[in-house]
Amino acid sequence: MPPDRRFATGRLPAVVLLLCLAGLVIPVADSGRSVHAAQDAAAPAGQEDQRPKGETLGEDQRQKAAADAEAKAAEEVVEEEKGFVRGSGGGLAILPAAVWWLLVLLWAGTTNWAAADRSKLPTFGHFWLPLLTGPFFAVAILAWWLPWSFVALPLLAITWLGPLLPYARLRDAKVGVDDRVLSLHHVSKSAAGMLRRVGIKLPEGEKKPGFALPDLALAGVFEDPSIDSKALAAEAKAMPGFAPFRELLQWAVSARARQVVLEMGETGTKVRQRVDGAWQPSKRPVAVREKMKRVEKWQESAPITPEATTAMMEAVKTLCLPARKSGKSSRSGKFIATVDRKQVPGRLSLESTPAGKRMVIELDQPDPTFPTLAALGMDEAAAGRVARALVLENGLVVVSAPSGEGLTTTFTQVVLATDRLLRDIVLIEDAASPLKEIQNVKPFRYGGDDAATPLATLEKAMLAYPTGIAVPDLRDGELAVELASRAAEMLVIVGIRANDSIDAIEKLISLGMPREPLARVLQASVSQRLVRKLCQGCAQEFPATPELLAKFHRPAEPAATLKRAAADGCGVCSGHGFMGRTAAFEVAGGPTVSKGILVKADARTMQKAAAKDGTVRIKDAGVAMAFAGTTSLEELQRVFKKEPQG
Ligand SMILES: [Zn+2]
């Protein structure tokens, strides 16, 4: 999470700039005034002024001996003046000037809060901002002209703090605990931020909820160009339900949720979100007293009241839902959430279900990228097997995962791992769901405007004389048959939805791929499952019992430990106990597996055959991850319990 950016949007008011300019100009003008005063008074002693006016001053200095009593009196006035304003070189003046600047900077920083408030608390912000700026501005300028710095500077401080303290008090009563200013936490965080800026790093503590909440702005996206989305966004913003909706999205983004569902019941609205592929209740930090200490616990957020839900819906409809088309039971719209200056496209739909209404929000947060297969979680042995298959001149490499389990990511990673700079690889993909561009891989799309079949698209691609073919989502029988024969001449990589590496082979056969060429060309069947990683900030370690070790065929190590997710989670993982995902892999393929394909062995026999060829089963790869402390046994249970994909 980026550092606190709550106030980043509140532009420093133009007044501050003006004042800073005034701060630069006035001292110059003022020293000039002192010089003039000095000249008028036949000049004070000990001045070395290099400005043009100073030349005449130099002459005046030489005339100092001729100064009469009247001039001395005037000189005293000037000397006195030099004590508080920056005169033409007096040492005493530096300190008051520095204090003046410090006050102005502090004031600018705190006034920025109010400027940012104008978007969050419009009426409040608009009322307070002039009170916080106007008087200070006047007194700051006046301070240069007042003859006593011991009066001017305290007065300036009073003008700064006078309105600021009641403002902060009233404001903090209106906003959430974590959004407060001048609280102990806020002050310590700000101080840490300042130290960081000058290169001093303090050890990072837990992610505090208020300070992790990203800055987020919303605007609807409409296909109809006559709709003014800006005006609608402004209108929505003024509605009472807007701020809670925005906050809901802030929490969702902060928890890295891709989907948020609001289930509206009679007693209230429950919020669930999908994080790292798992649905969970939306959680909030709650301060509780435990053993005389205040601690933060992440608890399921209370349902939103029906009244608040209605208000929220009104704001949402204004923001991004165009008028309902007649005869449709659902409404959907698009929006852009600008999160810390990055744009996150979002979709939102209102549906009526038998259980009641629900709102589904999808956030297109960017996918994490992985530099290598090892970074995806593949162990060295498996990565080595895949790498050896990918350098062959011909052969078939199958990449598989169940639906929604990151097949695209792994497939792309496998294609990237080929020597694609030397090989000409063509990509045969569905025009409806194209892959992100892969450098040096030429895409050919089927099912687009010309409704070309996958096979026709492959034939067209073959005219480019490729030395490799990649098909990210193989579902077409004709294409499967053709690919089996092409794999005898060149490298063919296919992606297919399947539960494991053996299931993937069976899927190829059921698509119509003949067993004989398949057994000959199959080099590797790579299967993958996404597994959530434990949050290392809050995972709880416990000793692995001898029974557990025996169950998972682990050596009887007395010091072996496992980890489980903390029920309450922590600030780092937004209370979920997990943080990010990795993948468990299995790579099958070898002489025994090929023999199994030819003799039509059943799945169980095929798995034994794979083991004989050195395949570590995907579940065992997962268990190894659990014993390494990366994930928990409960998570493995969740991942492998999933319904088999049809
Ligand atoms: Zn945690």
> Per-residue DSSP letters for 604-641?
HHHHHHHHHTTPPPHHHHHHHHHHTTSS-HHHHHHHHH
SS3 239: coil
Distance in Å, CA 513 to ligand 1 centroid = 47
Of 532, 500, 499, 522, give the one whose Cα is nearest residue 377. Answer: 532
With contact defined as beta carbons under 8 Å apart, do 264 and 356 qualify?
A: yes
What's the gap between Cα 559 and its chain centre? 38
442-486: pLDDT as tens digits? 999 999 888 899 999 999 999 999 999 999 999 999 999 999 999
Ligand 1 centre to CA of 579 (Å) is: 7
Compute the distance between CA of residue 463 and CA of residue 481 in angstroms, rounded to an integer.
Answer: 19
Higher pLDDT, 24 or 349: 349
Q: Measured in angstroms, how far is the CA atom of residue 463 from the centroid of ligand 1?
A: 54
Share of the chain above pLDDT 90, in %: 42
Determine the distance from the C-alpha atom of residue 68 to the mean position of all C-alpha atoms in its chain, rounded to a whole number: 74
Length of the chain equals: 646
Show the domains of the chain with their CATH numbers. 14-179 (no CATH), 212-363 (3.30.450.90), 373-530+583-619 (3.40.50.300)
pLDDT of residue 324: 61
| Predicted confidence (pLDDT) at residue 539 exceeds the cutoff of 90 | yes
- Distance (angstroms) between ligand 1 centre and the Cα of 212 equals 14
Mean pLDDT within 346-358: 88
State the distance from the centre of ligand 1 to the C-alpha of 413, rounded, in angstroms: 29
Cα–Cα distance measured from residue 296 to residue 308, given in angstroms and rounded to the nearest whole number: 26
Distance in Å, CA 629 to ligand 1 centroid: 14
Q: Which amino acid is at 463?
A: L
Query: Lowest-confidence range among 112-126, 176-190, 613-627?
Result: 176-190
Task: Give the number of other Cβ atoms within 10 Å of residue 341's Cβ.
Answer: 12
pLDDT at 510: 95
435, 471 contact by CB (below 8 A): no
Average pLDDT of every residue of the chain: 81
Distance 107 CA to ligand 1 centre (A): 37
Q: DSSP letter at 641? A: H
pLDDT 10s digits, 549-595? 988 888 888 788 999 999 888 888 989 999 999 999 999 999 999 99
Q: Give the pLDDT of residue 104.
A: 87
Question: Does the reported pTM lie above 0.85?
Answer: no
Q: Output the pLDDT for position 400.
A: 96
pLDDT tens digit string along 379-412? 888 888 999 999 999 999 999 999 878 899 899 9
Closest CA to 174 of 127, 109, 232: 127
Question: How many other CB atoms are found less than 10 A from the CB of residue 314?
Answer: 16
Strands of 512-554, DSSP E: 522-534, 540-543
The alpha carbon of 569 and the centre of ligand 1 are apart by a number of angstroms equal to 4
Sort residue 392 into left (φ over 0), alpha (ψ -120 to 50) or beta.
beta
With CA atoms as reference, report the closest residue to 513 among 499, 527, 525.
525
Ligand 1 center to residue 298 CA distance, Å? 10
Give the Å distance between the CA of 281 and the centre of ligand 1.
15
Ligand 1 centroid – CA 211 distance (Å): 16
What is residue 327's predicted lDDT score, i.e. its pLDDT? 58
d(CA 210, ligand 1 centre) in Å? 16
Higher confidence at residue 371 or residue 24?
371
The torsion angle over the Cα atoms of residues 49, 53, 58 and 62, rounded to 10 degrees, is -140
pLDDT tens figures, 477-510: 999 999 999 999 999 999 999 999 999 999 999 9
The Å distance, Cα 296 to ligand 1 centre, comes to 12
Place of tokens 């106030």: 7
CB 48 within 8 A of CB 104: no
CA of 550 from ligand 1 middle (Å) equals 29
Q: What's the confidence (pLDDT) of residue 6?
A: 40
Main-chain phi, psi angles of 432, to 5 degrees: -75, -25
Tell how far the Cα of 535 is from the centroid of ligand 1, in angstroms: 5
Structural tokens at position 189:
């965080």
Split at pLDDT 50, 70, 90, the class of 134 is confident
Q: Ligand 1 centroid to 291 CA: how many Å? A: 21
The rounded Å distance from CA 576 to ligand 1 centre is 7
Do 337 and 248 touch, CB atoms closer than 8 A? no
Q: Ligand 1: distance of its center to the CA of 534 in Å?
A: 8
* Ligand 1 centre distance from Cα of residue 369 (Å): 22
DSSP label at residue 40 = H
Q: How far is the CA of 425 from the centre of ligand 1 (A)?
A: 43
Query: 496 and 507 in contact (C-beta within 8 Å)?
Result: yes
* Cα of 368 from ligand 1 centre, angstroms: 19
Q: What is the pLDDT of residue 263?
A: 93
Mean pLDDT across the stretch 100-119?
Answer: 80
The arithmetic mean of pLDDT across residues 64-87, rounded, is: 49
Q: What's the number of CA atoms in the CB half-sphere (13 Å) around residue 390?
A: 26
Output the pLDDT for position 128: 81
pLDDT over 80 (residue 611): yes
Kindly state the tokens that stand for 294. Answer: 């205040």
Whole-angstrom distance between the N-terminal and C-terminal Cα of the chain? Answer: 39
- Dist. CA 530 → ligand 1 center (Å): 19
Instruction: Please report the pLDDT score of residue 441 as a whole number.
Output: 93
User: Cα of 441 to ligand 1 centre, how many Å?
Assistant: 40
**Separation CA 136–CA 142 (nearest Å):** 10
Query: What distance in angstroms lies between residue 568's CA and the mean position of ligand 1's atoms?
Result: 8
Burial letters for 6-17: b for 16+ Cβ neighbours within 10 Å, e otherwise? bbebbeebebbe
Nearest to 70 by CA among 43, 93, 41, 100: 41
pLDDT at 199: 67
For 569, the token pair is 């989670």
Confidence tier at 211 by pLDDT (50, 70, 90): very low
Instruction: Give the count of beta carbons closer than 10 Å to the beta carbon of residue 569.
Output: 25
* Interstrand relation of 395-401 and 491-497 (parallel, antiparallel or unpaired): parallel
* 277 SS3 class: coil
User: pLDDT grade, residue 32 (50/70/90)?
Assistant: very low
Whether 304 shows a pLDDT value over 90: the answer reads yes
CA of 566 to the centre of ligand 1 (A): 7
Q: State in Å: Cα 565 to ligand 1 middle.
A: 8
Give residue 414's pLDDT. Answer: 92
Bridge partner list, 44: none
**Ligand 1 midpoint to CA 205 (Å):** 12
Looking at the chain, the whole-number percentage of residues with pLDDT higher than 70 is 78
Residue 20: which pLDDT band, with cuts at 50, 70 and 90?
Answer: low
Residue predicted with more confidence, 21 or 65: 21
